[in-house]
Structure 1
Amino acid sequence: MAVSMQDVRVLASTTRTSHHTWALTFFCRPELYLQPSSIEQLQTIVRAAHQFKKTITVTGAGHSPSDITMTKDWLINLDNFNNVLSFSRHESGLFTDVRVEAGIRIYQLNAALASRGLALQNLGSISDQSIAGIISTGTHGSSAYHGLVSQQIVDITLLLASGDLLTVSPTVQPDLFRAAMLSLGKLGIITHVTIRAIPSFTIHSFQEIIDFDKLLEDWSTVWTSKEYVRVWWFPYSRKCILWRAQKSRKSLSAPRDSFYGTWLGRKLYETLLWFATRIYKRAMPAIERFVFRRQYGWESTYGLGGSEAVQNSVDGLNMDCLFRQFVNEWALPLKHGVEVLKLVDQAVTKAAESGAYYVHAPIEVRCSNCSYPDKETTPFEIIEMSGGIGAIPGNTLRPLLDYSPVVPYSFTGPISNENLTLYLNATMYRPFGRDPPIGQWYSEFEDIMAAYGGKPHWAKNFIGKSPEKTNVPTSGEMVGLASVFENWYGEDGKKYKAIREKLDPEGLLFGGKEWAIRNGII
């Protein structure tokens, strides 16, 4: 059935004619910025795209700072397709499966769950993304006892390029489900998701100052000491903030006051970053030490308890990302963490001594349990973990494009660093919209990561690998992973590409085709 352009234009936003990332790192002006609110409207867009030979790209909050969602054709935003559809309580009372439209933002889902006394058992650093977005890019939290957020997904419904709807799960087309769990938006439009929730809980956290060398000394035990653990590393101060937390029944208590949580402190910090970026780059180490003192103090509190807080799970697991930023995050085996952090430390120190480049703090250090069994476990099985902690997965299948390393499986027995994935995140802020130099720093950072089996987070500002060179030393522009895709992703990568080609042979979902070519997806 033919579709008129007028039928499509009525779905276009009257206020949005351009698109950019949250970080303001990339901009585009799509021909149409479409905001459908129903399956019928989405199917109309798909039919019209075929008819008018347009490509489709789907975007959410724009928190992926790369150009993965940039297009000149049609851009779909699902903010108006965001309803919670059903709650299915399991007879055990241990969990509830929640069916939602895929445009729902995580903060909206968190609120809907809280109203029913429910919560997600694992979150990323923010809750602004859509649920389709966290699935499509491999979002993770920081816990030795939880994996990617997509591990909580029970099933996914896709609107295919053909216009048909298809629901996949661990038992219905499991290979396609594995592809959809980290789809990069290239398989179909995710329309509905069922996610597994648990009874709401609070987080009792302990935040300590730990010397960098002491963190490395205690590396083997730090990551399994609590259910949730994350580290912020301040390289010029040679100190870290160690944040550890676990579920609690204690009464709520607020965290300590934050220097850059105030308007004045925040603007002062951004102004100092701007000064180091635009006027005097050698000031960066002193700025870091000044801000660290104001925000946290200086003396080590490791082993003394530090500052404590009891918060609801969302407030405890989310964090303030501060300013617009470039983000280059890689995943590698946690067991190599000490060697890798020492090499990064040496590179940062040497660069500062010569004035070659200066990094921003913190460098974020996190982990996840992205180990997978050889066979799918029973979906309702509770994974018992140390300290009486329990996880209830929606699935235990590895996404085909999971960029975490393959490590020995352990959820049901003692967990060690051998079973865990390290995520190292080199953030460079863009104070007042000004770009810091990132090319040489990111190039050296990526060389270290790749040497230890690391792979980049798909949605971040990685440089990648060039066929002519190991990397690009003077530019932060993405070269991509095309030259290493087959070697890095092997049979799973081939399977993903075969599924993609079968579902979308005409490339309807290849808005932003340049990014896909650059990274070996096509």
Structure 2
Amino acid sequence: MAVSMQDVRVLASKTRTTHRTWALTFVCRPELYLQPSSIEQLQTIVRAAHQFKKTITVTGAGHSPSDITMTKDWLINLDNFDNVLSFSRHESGLFTDVRVEAGIRIYQLNAALASRGLALQNLGSISEQSIAGIISTGTHGSSAYHGLLSQQIVDITLLLASGDLLTVSPTVQPDLFRAAMLSLGKLGIITHVTIRTIPSFTIHSFQEIIDFDKLLEDWSTVWTSKEYVRVWWFPYSRKCILWRAQKSRKSLSVPRDSFYGTWLGRKLYETLLWFATRICKRAMPAVERFVFRRQYGWESTYGHGGSEAVQNSVEGLNMDCLFRQFVNEWALPLQHGVEVLKLVDQAVTKAAESGAYYVHAPIEVRCSNCSYPDKETTPFEIIEMSGGIGPIPGNTLRPLLDYSPVVPYSYTGPISNENLTLYLNATMYRPFGRDPPIGQWYSEFEDIMVAYGGKPHWAKNFIGKSPEKANDVPISGEMIGLASVFENWYGEDGKKYKAIRENLDPEGLLFGGKEWAIRNGII
């Protein structure tokens, strides 16, 4: 059935015609910025896109700082797909499966779950993304006992390029389900998701100052010492913040006061970053040390308790990302962490001594358990295997494009570093919208990651690899992509993903932002 352009234009946003990433790293002006509210409207858009030979791109909050959602054709925003549809409580009382529209933002879902006494088991650093967004890009938290956030997903409903709806799960087209769990938005429009939740919980956290060398010394035990663990590394101070947390029944208590959390402190820090970025680059180490003292103190508190807080799970697991930023995050085996951090430390120190470049702090150090079992495993077996503090997973299948280099294993004993994935994130802030130089720093950082089997987070500001540019220092912000290494790095799973994509969308309807897909070997 033919569709008029007027039928499509009535779905266009009246207020938004420009699309930007949250970090303001990329901007585009799509021909149409569409905000449908129903499946029928989405199907109208798909039919019209075929008819008028347009491509479709889907976006949510725009928190991915790369150009993955940039397009000149039609951009679909699913903010109006934000309803919670049903709750299905398991007879054990251990979990509830919740059916939602996939445009719902995580903070909206958190609020809806809290009203029912429920919570997500694992969260990323922020809750502004849509549920479709965290699935499509491989969002993770920081825990030796939890994997990617998509581990909580029970099933996914896609609106295909054909206009048909298809629901996939671990038992219904499992290969397509594995592709959809890290789809990059290129398989179909995710419209509905069922996610596994647990009863609301609070977490008791301990935040300690630990010397960098001491962190490396205790590397083998730190990451499994609590259910949730994350580290912020301040390289010029040679110190880290070690944050560890466990589920708790204690009364709520507030965390210590934050220098970053005040308007004056926040503006002062951004001003100092701007000064060290634009006026006097050599001031960056002094800026870091000054801010570290103001925010945390200076003397090591490791082993002495540090500062404590008991918070609800959302407040405890989310964090303040501070300013707009470039984000270059890679995954590699956690067991190589000591060697890798030493090499990064050497590179940062050498660059500062010569004035070649200066980095921003903190460098985020986190981990996840992405080594899914090599056989079908029930949620109850997973609980038992993790000593009772691990996930009640919605699935135990690994996404085809999972960028974790850790291979599946048999759960035969306690979780150790050999089972875990390290995520190392080199953030560079854009104080007051001004870009810092990142080319040489990111190039050296990525060379170390690749040497130890690392792969980049799909939605971040990675440079990538090209044999033709192997000896060149990239221009700041340049993204070469993964096309030259895609087949080698993703192997049979990568081939399977591409075959599924080509079968579902042979005409490339979902290839708005085609440049990004070509650059990274997706087509």
TM-score grouping bracket, smaller chain normalisation: over 0.9
Task: Indicate conservation of the 8 Å contact 1:85/1:99, yes or no.
Answer: yes
Question: Offset at 1:391?
Answer: 1.8
Compared CA separation, residues 145 and 56, structure 1 to 2 (3 A)? same
For residues 411 and 131 of structure 1, the distance between their equivalents in structure 2, rounded to whole angstroms, comes to 29
Question: Offset at 1:382?
Answer: 4.2
Q: Deviations over 1:332-373 (max 9, x none)?
A: 000000000000000000000000000000000000000112
Q: Deviations over 1:186-242 (max 9, x none)?
A: 000000000000000001000000000000000000000000000000000000000
Compared CA separation, residues 228 and 379, structure 1 to 2 (3 A)? closer
Compared CA separation, residues 377 and 286, structure 1 to 2 (3 A)? same
Compared CA separation, residues 380 and 504, structure 1 to 2 (3 A)? farther
For residues 482 and 274 of structure 1, the distance between their equivalents in structure 2, rounded to whole angstroms, comes to 35
For residues 388 and 499 of structure 1, the distance between their equivalents in structure 2, rounded to whole angstroms, comes to 37
Compared CA separation, residues 385 and 286, structure 1 to 2 (3 A)? farther
Compared CA separation, residues 295 and 411, structure 1 to 2 (3 A)? farther
Task: Indicate conservation of the 8 Å contact 1:380/1:393, yes or no.
Answer: no
Task: Indicate conservation of the 8 Å contact 1:384/1:391, yes or no.
Answer: no
For residues 413 and 383 of structure 1, the distance between their equivalents in structure 2, rounded to whole angstroms, comes to 13
Question: Offset at 1:475?
Answer: 3.4
Unaligned runs of 5+ in 2: none
Question: Offset at 1:379?
Answer: 5.0
Compared CA separation, residues 222 and 380, structure 1 to 2 (3 A)? closer
Question: Offset at 1:378?
Answer: 2.7
Question: Offset at 1:466?
Answer: 1.1
Task: Indicate conservation of the 8 Å contact 2:104/2:130, yes or no.
Answer: yes
Q: What is the TM-score when the length of structure 1 is the normalising length?
A: 0.99
Question: Offset at 1:381?
Answer: 4.3
For residues 38 and 219 of structure 1, the distance between their equivalents in structure 2, rounded to whole angstroms, comes to 50
**Structure 2 SS opposite 1:383:** helix
Compared CA separation, residues 475 and 431, structure 1 to 2 (3 A)? closer
For residues 412 and 260 of structure 1, the distance between their equivalents in structure 2, rounded to whole angstroms, comes to 44
Question: Offset at 1:390?
Answer: 3.7
Alignment coverage as a number of residue pairs? 522
Task: Indicate conservation of the 8 Å contact 1:145/1:385, yes or no.
Answer: no
Question: Offset at 1:389?
Answer: 1.4
Q: Deviations over 1:41-79 (max 9, x none)?
A: 000000000000000000000000000000000000000
For residues 243 and 520 of structure 2, the distance between their equivalents in structure 1, rounded to whole angstroms, comes to 35
For residues 11 and 286 of structure 1, the distance between their equivalents in structure 2, rounded to whole angstroms, comes to 52
Compared CA separation, residues 390 and 406, structure 1 to 2 (3 A)? closer
Q: Which moved more, 1:229-238 or 1:399-408?
A: 399-408
Question: Offset at 1:384?
Answer: 2.5
Unaligned runs of 5+ in 1: none
**Structure 1 SS opposite 2:379:** coil
Deviation beyond 6 Å, 4+ runs, structure 1:
none
For residues 285 and 385 of structure 2, the distance between their equivalents in structure 1, rounded to whole angstroms, comes to 41
Question: Offset at 1:374?
Answer: 1.7
Q: Which residue of structure 2 aligns with residue 39 of structure 1?
A: 39
Task: Indicate conservation of the 8 Å contact 1:145/1:411, yes or no.
Answer: no
Task: Indicate conservation of the 8 Å contact 2:406/2:420, yes or no.
Answer: no
Compared CA separation, residues 381 and 90, structure 1 to 2 (3 A)? farther
Q: Deviations over 1:433-473 (max 9, x none)?
A: 00000000000000000000000000000000013132644
Task: Indicate conservation of the 8 Å contact 2:12/2:32, yes or no.
Answer: yes
For residues 482 and 382 of structure 2, the distance between their equivalents in structure 1, rounded to whole angstroms, comes to 37
For residues 289 and 385 of structure 1, the distance between their equivalents in structure 2, rounded to whole angstroms, comes to 42
Task: Indicate conservation of the 8 Å contact 1:30/1:75, yes or no.
Answer: yes
Q: What percent of counterpart residues are identical?
A: 96
Question: Offset at 1:412?
Answer: 6.3
Task: Indicate conservation of the 8 Å contact 1:30/1:73, yes or no.
Answer: yes
Q: Which moved more, 1:216-225 or 1:366-375?
A: 366-375
For residues 71 and 475 of structure 2, the distance between their equivalents in structure 1, rounded to whole angstroms, comes to 26
Task: Indicate conservation of the 8 Å contact 1:325/1:427, yes or no.
Answer: yes
